[in-house]
Amino acid sequence: MASGGGCDRQAAVRGARRRGAGTNGGAVTDLINPATEEVVASVQATDLAAVDAAIERAHIALAAWREVAPGDRARLLRKFADAVDADLENLARLEVANSGHTIGNARWEAGNVRDLLEYYAAAPERLLGKQIPVAGGIDVTFNEPLGVVGIIVPWNFPMPIAAWGFAPALAAGNTVVLKPAELTPLTAIRLGELALQAGIPADVFQVLPGKGSVVGQRFVTHPAVRKVVFTGSTEVGRQIMAGCAAQIKRVTLELGGKNANVVFADADIEKAAATAPYGVFDNAGQDCCARSRILVQRSVFDRFMELLEPAVQGVVVGDPADDTTEMGPLISASHRSTVAGYIEPSTRVAFRGNAPAGPGFWFPPTVVLPSSPTDRVVAEEVFGPVVTVVPFEDERDAVRIANDTDYGLSGSLWTNDLGRALRVSRALEAGNLSVNSHSSVRYWTPFGGFKQSGLGRELGPDGALAFTEVKNVFIATT
């Protein structure tokens, strides 16, 4: 199994050290290639003293960065985008080696960082205030930067989710301290180096690899950090929200999902079945938007299952550095054990796809017919290539089953009835829905969850506003 070579891993690590991160006594962590179980790099964690020093530097840098003319800030972000574009293949291969992402996905992810920077480069010149008619004077509003923003990134999509935070935050005039996941810091470290090359001042964007209990927790408790952006589990999100409440600190949370893919009898059943595997098994199911519950109208249930089996078995699982691979490994041995734990002795497995033998944290695409809606595999976020399929009777039943979860992040529905598509879309308790598609995220549209899937929205035309405070100023004229 190839290791995704051709990437300058040690250059990425050196880049972090040149930025002053992770050099002050933190433990050294070996990073494991999930496809080969080989060590690809070693990274020193940022200790508490270094975190405090970085936050203080970011706080000092804020005064100058917020005063950079909007056009000049936009030009710097475009230069950053150009630097990412020039390094796109290296970034992609770093992600293959560190995260086990397929090379096709990793190239898209690096391109998404570039596109986000280009998109939000337009924001500094469009953060418009308002002039509000009032008696006795003039009233105007300003969108002021919050200050230092702490961004905590998960291991499943290290590049794009980092950029969802830092691109609009920088555009709005904030400084950023970013903590990548302990398992997957290499692309974030490299992005930090590319920011420097593009002319972003060193203390305006800092990458701090390390433990969540040290780096992430300090973002929550340090008074100079005025907003925390967290993507990860709902359990940790609750803790961060509670911690930020002590300082009335702004917070955006993108948390778990247990998303439904609802297939009605009037849909294109062949297309719905053919695409269903890619709605859940992308990134080996390690995706908060994975459609891990398929709901199929009973009258077409058997036909759907007949079509689904060859589609699942056709998913190409293997070397993530190979252009033909569609699904790679799970992130770690411990996570593979967690996913496997959802397939209990009593679990009815309808069929499985294929997965390589030998080194690597492999798990085959797995389709389950649950016996009860309370089964763990139905109720909990598996975060792996496991999907359940259940029948429903009618539209009302479909909505009831789909909404029977604490989560509300995303979902799909398949129907050729426009009225039904609109009715069901409005009835489903989820923040991001697709009709006859599994698309969840576009950087030019808002993204976020209902219920316990999160708080706030990221991306879209208002993304930069989430990193500002509205200031109202009245000027008396009489």
Task: Supply angle C-alpha 375, 378, 382, rounded to 5.
Answer: 110
Q: Are 272 and 415 found together in one domain? A: yes
- Integer Cα distance of 176 and 195 in angstroms: 12
Q: Are 103 and 169 found together in one domain? A: yes
Print the domain residue range for 293.
260-442
Q: Are 289 and 413 found together in one domain? A: yes
Q: Are 133 and 32 found together in one domain? A: yes
Phi, psi values for residue 230, rounded to 5°: -125, 130
List of the chain residues with pLDDT < 70: 1-25
- Integer Cα distance of 449 and 430 in angstroms: 6
Among 464, 454, 404, 400, CA closest to 432 = 454
Q: Are 91 and 144 found together in one domain? A: yes
Q: Are 436 and 461 found together in one domain? A: no
Element (H, E) at 366: strand 366-368
Is 447 a member of any domain? no
Residue with tokens 């952006």: 229
CATH number at residue 299: 3.40.309.10
Report yes or no: 386 and 286 within 8 Å, Cβ to Cβ: no
Q: Are 241 and 301 found together in one domain? A: no
- DSSP state string for 177-198: EEE--SS--HHHHHHHHHHHHT
Report yes or no: 99 and 284 within 8 Å, Cβ to Cβ: no
Is 285 a member of any domain? yes
Verify whether residue 326 is a known catalytic residue: no
Q: Are 207 and 277 found together in one domain? A: no
Q: Are 227 and 285 found together in one domain? A: no
Is 325 a member of any domain? yes
Q: Are 250 and 270 found together in one domain? A: no
Residue 402 tokens, joined = 């789909």
- The structure's pTM equals 0.94
> What per-residue string of b and e applies to 375-400 under the rule 16 or more CB within 10 Å gives b?
bebbbebbbbbbbbbbbbeebeebbe
Is 1 a member of any domain? no
Verify whether residue 458 is a known catalytic residue: no
Instruction: Say which of 288, 289, 326, 381 is annotated catalytic.
Output: 288
Q: Are 78 and 128 found together in one domain? A: yes
Residue 114 tokens, joined = 């570039």
Instruction: Say which of 193, 254, 326, 381 is annotated catalytic.
Output: 254
- DSSP state string for 26-90: PPEEEEE-TTT--EEEEEEPP-HHHHHHHHHHHHHHHHHHHTS-HHHHHHHHHHHHHHHHHTHHH
User: What integer pLDDT is reported at residue 22 of this predicted model?
Assistant: 42
Among 92, 159, 125, CA closest to 443 = 159
The β-bridge partners of 429 are: none
Beta-carbon neighbour count of residue 471 at 10 Å? 11
Helix (H, G, I), strand (E, B) or coil at 295: strand
Is 2 a member of any domain? no
Beta-carbon neighbour count of residue 177 at 10 Å? 29
Is 448 a member of any domain? no
User: What integer pLDDT is reported at residue 6 of this predicted model?
Assistant: 45
Report the amino acid identity of residue 384.
G
Q: How many domains would you assign to the chain?
A: 2
User: What integer pLDDT is reported at residue 245 of this predicted model?
Assistant: 98
Q: Are 268 and 249 found together in one domain? A: no
Is 269 a member of any domain? yes
User: What integer pLDDT is reported at residue 18 of this predicted model?
Assistant: 38
Is 75 a member of any domain? yes
